Amino acid sequence: MKFTIAGAGSSYTPELLEEIARRQQELPVSEIVLYDIDEQRLEIMLGFSLRYAKKHGIRAHIRATRDLDDAVAGADFVDTQIRVGGNQQRVKDERIPLKYGLVGQETTGAGGMMKAFRTIPVLLDIARRMERLAPEGWIINYTNPTGLITEAVTRYTGANIAGFCSGGLFPKYWAKDALGIEGKRVQYDYVGLNHMNFISNITIDGKPISQEQFDLLAARDSGLDPGLIRTLGVLPSPYLGWFYHTAERVAQMKQAQRTRGEEVMEIEREVFAAYADPTLDEKPPALAKRGGGGYSEVAMTFVHAVWNNVDTEMVVNVPSNGAVEFLPRDAVVEIPCLVNSRGMSPLHVGRVPPMCWGLIAQVKNYEQLAVEAAVEGSVRKMKQALLAHPLVREYSLVEQLVPELLAANRDYLPQFQQ
């Protein structure tokens, strides 16, 4: 098995190595290719990866390349975890909308749209190379906003792609923390979009949870008011705090000395100083500050299901194809799928909780317009997408935002320079 990590200079790469080491009996990875355009970070990560592999007995040959064709040619799986423009552009995504009293965040709102605009052309390039050089291979996408990127790749290429987020595991983690039970005992219905999902019909050992158990889950630290969760009657993604506590979140961001992007830049300086230490052969403790836990488990569970043809139910970003009846069939949704060597088969969503479908439909409307704007370089569709987004919406703000956002991202948006 050839396993490529595109964006291997990411601080998350050791998480994948850890999972590969843990699963060597079931996954015969013979070659791990580290690809990145940042030569310094790639060199540091290669050195650390070789030390980590030696310490943990990873038998695969590990090498680095800055040649994308070399990285993807013949690859069975390409894990994409890139950040076009780095955290410097993320900070702009956060700060520019905030000037106008709007949420500034890397995966939703106006900032999330700009991250999608920078990233979609790059992922389409990877996907088209995969079509030519590894037509049977799979892209495992963790690059945010993964829902928009997965939709772009599925609409405009024929490459195999599975869009992931660790959010599908969150209810199991919450049950373990709040109820003290093993996650495998917990089942639930899961529907929505990436970072816009709702969990309902929760059972333990097949039996519906009690109101007391639900209240304990609602009270976990997710940044959402427990009263809100009890009112909804379902468990929302933590990211829904941007939609249900918008004014409070914007006020907090304005008062904060640093944005999350600026905090991440500081964390990554510490993490990469550790990776560069020639004596380090374990994940540094500072990596825990970075967030994103669980993603390597999801990625390698997918690899196991596909490679070994093991029927596995997983939450994946896939075209709905009728699974969510009120959305277009080509709309990418985040729902449970049956995964095996045939790929992913969406499981029909029988009933979407009624208070959820309006918000899901509205944000999907924005997402489809944003994908088209990103591919076509259309300023008009960019404005339409922002007008459709419930966190933006106001025409006067859109007219002010668009030229400033485009100017701040000029070096990364060749499609808009026509």
Cα separation, 163 vs 149, in Å, equals: 8
DSSP state of 348: P
CA 275 to chain centre: 24
* Tens of pLDDT, residues 148-189: 999 999 999 999 999 999 888 888 888 998 999 998 899 999
The pLDDT of residue 335: 96
For the question of residue 239 being annotated catalytic, the response is: yes
Reading the block at residue 337, the tokens are 């799928």
SS (H, E, C) 69-97: HHHHCCCCEEEECCCCCHHHHHHHHHHHH
H/E element, 365:
helix 357-376
Cα separation, 86 vs 92, in Å, equals: 11
Question: Does residue 126 register a pLDDT over 80?
Answer: yes
Question: What radius of gyration do the chain's Cα atoms show?
Answer: 21
Half-sphere exposure of 139 (CA within 13 A, CB side): 35
- 284 confidence band (pLDDT: 50, 70, 90): very high
User: Does the 2-166 domain belong in CATH 3.40.50.720?
Assistant: yes
DSSP H helical ranges for 185-235:
211-218, 226-232
DSSP state of 347: P
Amino acid occupying residue 316: V
- 286 confidence band (pLDDT: 50, 70, 90): confident
CA 246 to chain centre: 22
- 225 confidence band (pLDDT: 50, 70, 90): very high
- Do residues 6 and 82 touch, judged by C-beta distance below 8 A? yes
* Tens of pLDDT, residues 25-72: 999 999 999 999 999 999 999 999 999 999 999 999 999 999 999 999
- Do residues 145 and 183 touch, judged by C-beta distance below 8 A? no
Q: Which of 12, 142, 239, 295 is catalytic?
A: 239
> Model-level pTM?
0.95
The pLDDT of residue 167: 86
Reading the block at residue 130, the tokens are 């995969």
The pLDDT of residue 293: 63
Cα separation, 210 vs 202, in Å, equals: 9
Q: Which residues does residue 316 pair with via DSSP β-bridges, in sequence order?
A: 335
Mean pLDDT is lowest, of 9-13, 349-353, 356-360, for 349-353
- Do residues 145 and 370 touch, judged by C-beta distance below 8 A? no
Cα separation, 147 vs 332, in Å, equals: 6
* Tens of pLDDT, residues 81-95: 999 999 999 999 999
- Do residues 162 and 312 touch, judged by C-beta distance below 8 A? no
Q: CA-based angle 276:277:281, to the nearest 5?
A: 100
Mean pLDDT for the chain overall: 95
Buried b (16+ CB within 10 A) or exposed e, 389-400: bbbbeeeebbee
Residue 202 region by backbone torsions, left for phi larger than 0, else alpha for psi between -120 and 50, else beta: beta
Half-sphere exposure of 74 (CA within 13 A, CB side): 7
DSSP state of 138: E
Cα separation, 87 vs 93, in Å, equals: 10
The pLDDT of residue 211: 94
Cα separation, 324 vs 353, in Å, equals: 12
Reading the block at residue 195, the tokens are 């970072």
Cα separation, 169 vs 167, in Å, equals: 5
Mean local confidence (pLDDT), 351-373 = 95
Cβ count near 82 (within 10 Å): 24
The residue among 261, 275, 259, 263 whose CA lies nearest residue 11 is 275
Cα separation, 159 vs 127, in Å, equals: 6
Question: Does residue 326 register a pLDDT over 70?
Answer: yes
Reading the block at residue 107, the tokens are 């995966």
Mean local confidence (pLDDT), 314-331 = 95
- Do residues 189 and 203 touch, judged by C-beta distance below 8 A? no
The pLDDT of residue 290: 80
Question: Does residue 350 register a pLDDT over 90?
Answer: no
- 292 confidence band (pLDDT: 50, 70, 90): low
Question: Does residue 252 register a pLDDT over 70?
Answer: yes
- 221 confidence band (pLDDT: 50, 70, 90): low
